[in-house]
Amino acid sequence: MRIISGKYRSLVLSEFKGKDIRPTADRVKESLFNILSAHIAGARVLDLFCGSGSLGLECISRGAAEVHFNDVSKESIAVLRKNLAKLGGGINCKITVLDYKLFLSGAKTAYDVIFLDPPYRLSAGAEALCQIGERRLLNEGGIAVLERDCPFSGGVAGLEMYDERKYGKTYLSFFKNQ
C-alpha cells in the first residue's frame, strides 16, 4: 500500500496484519482519485472509517486543506499515527476514535469530500450516508464516496447517488447533495 500521487508520491504506508483487514487496492484508489482529482486541493476531507488512513493520506499528499480521520478501532488509529509520522510535521489533520454514529451526531462542520469505507460485513456505510444527508454534513458541491462489495440500492434523504463504478469486487458509489 502506497501513496499514489502528490507531495508524498510512492511513500509506502504501514499496513495491518491479518486476514480480516481489507485495504482499498491501489488500482481502485488510483481510479477513485482520478475521478476526484478536481475536488481534493484545498478541500476539507472526512475519512470516516479511516483504518490505516490511506484515503485521507492520499488527500493530504494532493493538497487537501484539512483531513479529519475517524475510526472506532484504537489499533487502526495506531497504524494511522505511524503513517502520519512518515509524512513529518506541518500536516493539518484531526484524529478521533469514535463510533461513526457518535461522530456524525456530534459533527459541527460540513465537508467537501467524505470517504465511507466500512467493513463490508456491516451496513454502516448506508447508515452513515443517511446521517450525512439528514444533518447536511456535505458542503455544496461536495462528494461522498461509499466503498462496498455490492451495488448501492435504495435512496438517501438529502443525497443523490449520481455515479457508481465497479472495480473487480469493489463498488464505488458517489453521492452529492440533492
Domain ranges of the chain: 26-177
pLDDT one digit per residue (tens) for the chain, 178 residues: 889 999 999 989 988 765 455 667 778 999 999 999 999 999 999 999 999 999 999 999 999 999 999 999 999 999 999 999 999 878 899 999 999 999 999 999 999 999 999 988 888 999 999 999 999 999 999 999 999 999 999 899 999 999 999 999 999 999 999 9
Q: Which pTM was predicted?
A: 0.95
146 contacts: CB under 8 Å, gap ≥ 6:
116, 117, 125, 126, 129, 152, 172, 173, 175
The pairing of beta strand 170-177 with beta strand 159-167: antiparallel
Give the CATH number of domain 26-177; options: 3.90.870.10, 3.30.365.10, 1.10.3720.10, 3.40.50.150: 3.40.50.150
Q: What is the pLDDT of residue 21?
A: 57
**Is the Cβ–Cβ distance between 46 and 115 less than 8 Å?**
yes
The rounded distance, in Å, linking the Cα atoms of 93 and 108 is 16
Amino acid at 56: G
CA 1, 152, 37, 45 torsion: positive or negative? negative
Q: CA angle at residue 147 from 145 to 149, to 5 degrees?
A: 150
